[in-house]
Amino acid sequence: MNRLSTPSPTNVSSPRLYLWPWVYLIAFVYFALHMATATRYGYFRDALYYLACSEHLAFGYVDLPPFFPLIAWIARHTLGTSLPALIFWPALVGAARIILVAAFARELGAKRFGAALAAALAATPAVWWVIDHQFAMNAFEPLFWTGCAYVLLRMINTQNPRLWLAFGVIAGLGLENKYSIVFFAFALLLGLLLTPLRRLLFTPWLFAGGAVAFLIFLPNLLWNIQHHWPFFELMYNIRATGKDIILPPAAYLVQQILMMQPFSLPFWLGGLLFLFFSPSAKPYRAFGWAFVVTIAIFLALHGKDYYSAPVYPIVLAAGAVAAEHLLASPRLDTRSNLRAFLKPVCFAWLIIGVVLILPLVLPVLPLDAFVRYQSHLPLQPQPTERSFIGAVLPQYYADELPWQEQVAAVARVYHSLTPDEQAKTAIFCDNFGQAGAIDFFGPRYGLPKALSGHQNYFFWGPRNYPGEIVILVGQPEDGARKQFASVEVAATLHIPYAYSYETRPILLCRGLQWNLLTGWARVKHWR
């Protein structure tokens, strides 16, 4: 059978509305703001690492699946690697997310106002302004999650179980981007199980969709098996070392409100209540359960606050529909002036919320001006890792700062050596940000590729350097002196607002007491 026998929701019998032009205008403005600020500050740490990964295409990496390194490879070979060229990709995906949230609201029954409001709500959360300004896989995550939810919504409205195949394709691609989509897919299925829509689960098309997702994910699964599950080892190390800041439940929920931007709270909370309690939303109650279950999972697993961000499109879209229903209430029929007043107030409220925090989430101010702005905020951005405690700038801004200056300092040390010494000199970095910066900026300074034991750099090995001469980047001097015959502070760094461990002196070391080629396993640093 192609369709389930139970009648579909009543709202699908009405003609489907095209998205109002305001939806596309909101998406365009969002995209344009990101592009207009693309060259401020600098390259994001993770972006440099992903560009390095794109030079080593594989079916898996220590800390991520293969999808985004492939995107980085495509970016490198199409638009290039300038800041605007890199920001183009997450900004475009962010604009697509806005359109998809509006489409989700339309599928829930929204008309023109509801669809436009959903687009505005999708452009409001603080977390997405930050994420969509970083060349990283997190920007794609809400697109895959919302894509899965949208297919399920269409399945509910059309009663067509064949759509499990499309769900499987999106879920499989999402797995190749970030493994966390597993939690959302589980929450969606559990949401169906907790409602009368559980009948959608009892069809062979569900297993066909699961098979499609599995086949797409299979290359990465085999890579993990072949390499003895490095991602699980990484996650264990993160927990064992206490790298991440674990918030108690109340603080975690407060961070959810701040992350999504407090001005959007009435809408997404109203959307959640709408999904659970509105008679017109009864066919869609599974999405309310999916939201609650997803938040509960990340709360129980002590995930970072932004891990749950991709689940919010479903309640933002529902909030837009709820607001539209409220403003269409018969009680307002005799108060048409009030209705005409409240509709623009909704948009004005969201615009005010974005404008107030815009410098905090988009690099619109010079750094000195931003620090002054930040000092007047009632609440300061909270770090998600212990190493960032005490930093002047938010983590996502500070991670863009020291790279080219650091590489220039390394180049001065490297070129102070004779040609024979340079041929023997390895550049060893403490983390993938420093190593990625060497690999990205290094060619313009005549530097060789970097070495590191951090994340996937460990798999790329010592590059035939035994360790006779090593330039150490980001390593403490006292630790280096225990391993080398001589250690010289060859350069110092003075980079305002950068993290202290990123401005450690550049060390020129000679005579490693063990051989890098035979003892490479000692440098492994996965956390």
CB 358, CB 29: distance < 8 Å: no
CA distance 285 to 451: 51
Nearest to 507 by CA among 478, 476, 471: 471
CA distance 376 to 390: 17
Residues above pLDDT 90, as percent of the chain = 82
Q: Grade residue 18 by pLDDT with cuts at 50, 70 and 90.
A: low
Q: What band does 401 get if pLDDT is binned at 50, 70 and 90?
A: confident
- Dist. CA 100–CA 325, nearest whole Å: 20
Angle (deg, nearest 10), helices 312-327 and 265-277: 80
- Mean per-residue pLDDT for 428-449? 96
Tell me the helices (H) and strands (E) count for the chain, helix number first.
22, 4
Cα–Cα dist 213/219, whole Å: 11
Is the pLDDT assigned to residue 385 strictly greater than 90? no
Q: What is the pLDDT of residues 211-265, one digit of tens each?
A: 999 999 999 999 999 999 999 999 999 888 877 788 889 999 999 999 999 999 9
> What confidence category does residue 335 fall into, taking pLDDT thresholds of 50, 70 and 90?
low
**SS3 (DSSP) at 131:** helix
pLDDT at res. 527 = 87
CB atoms within 10 A of CB 244: 16
Q: What angle do CA 147, 80, 77 make, to 5 degrees?
A: 75
The pLDDT value recorded for residue 13 is 38
pLDDT, residue 20, reads: 76
- pLDDT tens digits for range 445-476: 999 999 999 999 999 999 999 999 999 999 99
Confidence label for 376 from pLDDT (cuts 50, 70 and 90):
confident
Q: Model-level pTM?
A: 0.92
Give the DSSP letter string of 8-64.
PPGGGGSPPPPPPHHHHHHHHHHHHHHHHTTTSS---HHHHHHHHHTTS--S--SSS
Taking the domains of the chain in order of start, what are their residue ranges? 19-361, 403-523
Q: Residue 227 is which amino acid?
A: H
CA nearest 386: which of 304, 275, 474, 478?
A: 304
pLDDT in tens, 178-203: 999 999 999 999 999 999 999 999 99
Q: Check residue 494 and give its pLDDT.
A: 87
Kindly list the strands in the beta sheet with 506-512, ordered across the sheet, starting from the edge strand earlier in the chain.
425-429, 469-473, 506-512, 484-491
pLDDT band, very low/low/confident/very high, at 379 (cuts 50, 70, 90)? confident
Whether the Cβ atoms of residue 192 and residue 180 lie closer than 8 Å to each other: no
Of the ranges 50-54, 92-96, 171-175, 398-402, which one carries the lowest mean pLDDT score?
398-402
The neighbouring-strand residues paired with 445 are: none
Query: Rounded to 5 degrees, what are φ and ψ at 437?
Result: -65, -40
- Strand (E) or helix (H) holding 418: none
Tokens of 339: 């209705």
Q: Which of 393, 384, 436 has the alpha carbon at shortest distance from 86?
A: 436
Residue 1 pLDDT class (50, 70, 90 cuts)? very low
Average pLDDT over residues 136-163: 96
3-class secondary-structure state, position 502: helix
How does pLDDT run across 105-115, given as a tens digit for each residue?
999 999 999 99
What kind and span of H or E run contains 512? strand 506-512
SS3 assignment, position 489: strand
Output the pLDDT for position 434: 95
pLDDT tens by residue, 66-105: 999 999 999 999 999 999 999 999 999 999 999 999 999 9
> How far apart, in whole angstroms, are the C-alpha atoms of residue 386 and residue 13?
54
Give the pLDDT of residue 12: 44
Contacts for 109 with CB less than 8 Å, ≥ 6 apart: 11, 280, 321
Average model confidence (pLDDT) across the chain: 91
Over 70: is that where the pLDDT of 336 sits? no
User: SS3 of 77, please?
Assistant: helix
